[in-house]
Amino acid sequence: MSEERHAPEARQAAGAAERRATEPRRDAVASAEVAASPLFAWDHTLAALTDWAAAPDRGRPTADGAGWLMALRVGAAPGRVVVAELRQGGAEGRLVARVGADETPTAADVAAATEQLRWRLALDLDTRALHAAPERDPAFQPVAAALAGFHPPLFASAFQAACWTVVRQRTPPAFAAASFGRIVEYLGEAVAVPPGLLASTTPSGTALREPVGEPPRSTGDSPTATRLSVFPSAAALGEEARPALLAATNNLRKVDRLRGLADAFLGLDEGWLRAAPYDEVFAWLARLPGLGPWSAEQVAWRGLGRYERTPWRDAGALTAVGDVYAGGLTLALGSARELAERYGWLQGLWLRYLKAYPRVRPRSG
């Protein structure tokens, strides 16, 4: 009778022990300080990430809105997924990164995560030269003032940017964003935000990782989402991924092109794309399956941060220039080029500022 009376308590204790063994530990978090090159304004980064619907793996704001949570893959392939929380530090241009996982991250994990954050958030981009130029360009002065310290975020990789251009081609932006999100759902990896990085929103018993192929229970766009996603690697878009790619895009031609991109990027050192002469990089990108001059410019601009050229094939480029320099009229391409050339190696950044300006432009009246 005594044994029967204590059986429920024993089972309850065993269940609690099992949950503790599978739940992420609250102390499985490591911290590091990250310095951003000047000028830098964290608020602009938060706003840009929030608005970037084309990047389903961009993460989400923290519950208080002052920080950002992002899932990152670290370590040698296939690696493991960690979650990083980034916040403004005590000093200007200083950020604090906290990295969490199912086990306390190693020093190598933290270093890899902070390196990825530096890349994705363009923290090493020195914008001082861009902000000094408006002294000779009065029309750009209000843009530079409103966006002082803006470091435009980048796609996680050139591969992801290339995939985005394929999905985006001849497709309305909202539908393309939904298709791209489904690629992440079906072929990426979902990861739970460790309890140590949440105020109180992680449900008890949530496992840190889940198999790919199933949509996550909640999206990274929600301020209270407890799961984030990483974009699939080139290896994950192998031949066996065709059914998932078709389900995501509903387009056989795009499936073929995405598969071709995966093969082209498999094993590629993207460091070459970041450092090689622009013309060589552009030529290599333009020859990839489904990519042409427009796509090559977009990958270099939004995926590699190659700002030494202006992507004039971008649909909104001339409009953005005209809004600031011609009172809303569309400038001739030659005139727009002359304006861009004032900014030399930062002319692509100049255009990113012009395109971001409507988000912060003071409203008249």
pLDDT at 219 over 70: no
Q: Domain locations in the chain?
A: 317-358
Determine which of 152-156, 186-190, 205-209, 296-300 has the lowest per-residue pLDDT on average.
Answer: 205-209
d(CA 224, CA 210): 19
By the 8 A CB rule, do 297 and 161 touch?
A: no
Per-residue pLDDT at 365 exceeds 90:
no
pLDDT at 208 over 80: no
Pure H helices in the chain: 2-22, 42-51, 107-120, 128-132, 141-146, 158-168, 173-187, 242-249, 252-265, 270-275, 278-286, 293-298, 317-325, 333-341, 347-360
Using the predicted structure, report yes or no on whether residue 145 has a pLDDT greater than 80. yes
- Please give the average per-residue pLDDT across 85-107, as a whole number: 92
Determine the Cα–Cα distance for residues 100 and 97; give it in Å rounded to an integer. 10
Q: What is the pLDDT of residue 210?
A: 36
Given a cut of 60, whether residue 165 has pLDDT beyond it is yes
Whether the per-residue pLDDT at 147 is higher than 60: the answer is yes
Average pLDDT (150-179) is 97
Q: Is the pTM of this model over 0.75?
A: yes
Q: Cβ(282)–Cβ(297) under 8 Å?
A: yes
Model confidence band, residue 27 (pLDDT cutoffs 50, 70, 90): low
Arithmetic mean of pLDDT, 193-202: 68
Q: Which residue has the tokens 């029309």?
A: 139
Q: What pLDDT does 282 receive?
A: 98
Q: Give the whole-number percent of the chain exceeding pLDDT 90.
A: 77
pLDDT surpasses 80 at 214: no
pLDDT value at 223 more than 70: no
Q: Which of 74-78, 160-164, 302-306 has the lowest mean pLDDT?
A: 74-78
Instruction: Give the pLDDT confidence score for residue 363 in this predicted structure.
Output: 72
Note the pLDDT of residue 35. Answer: 96
Residue type at 231? F
Q: Which of 61-75, 127-141, 148-162, 200-214 has the lowest mean pLDDT?
A: 200-214
- pLDDT for res 206: 32
Both ends of the chain: CA-CA distance in Å? 81
pLDDT tens readout for residues 112-122: 999 999 999 99
b (16+ CB within 10 A) / e for 339-350: bbeebeebbbbb
Q: What is the mean pLDDT of residues 60-89?
A: 93
What is the residue-averaged pLDDT of the chain?
A: 87
* pLDDT at residue number 6: 45
Kindly state the average pLDDT of the residues 137-150. 96
Beta strand extents in 47-93 (DSSP E only): 60-61, 67-74, 80-88
Least confident of 108-122, 215-229, 258-272: 215-229
Q: Which of 172-181, 196-205, 300-309, 311-320 has the lowest mean pLDDT?
A: 196-205
211: preceding bond cis by omega (within 30 degrees):
no
pLDDT bin (cut points 50, 70, 90) of residue 225 is low
Residue 18 has pLDDT above 60, yes or no: no
Predicted confidence band at 212 (pLDDT cuts at 50, 70, 90)? very low
**Rounded to whole angstroms, how far apart are CA atoms 347 and 306?**
10
Per residue in 328-360, pLDDT (tens digit) is 999 999 999 999 999 999 999 999 999 999 999
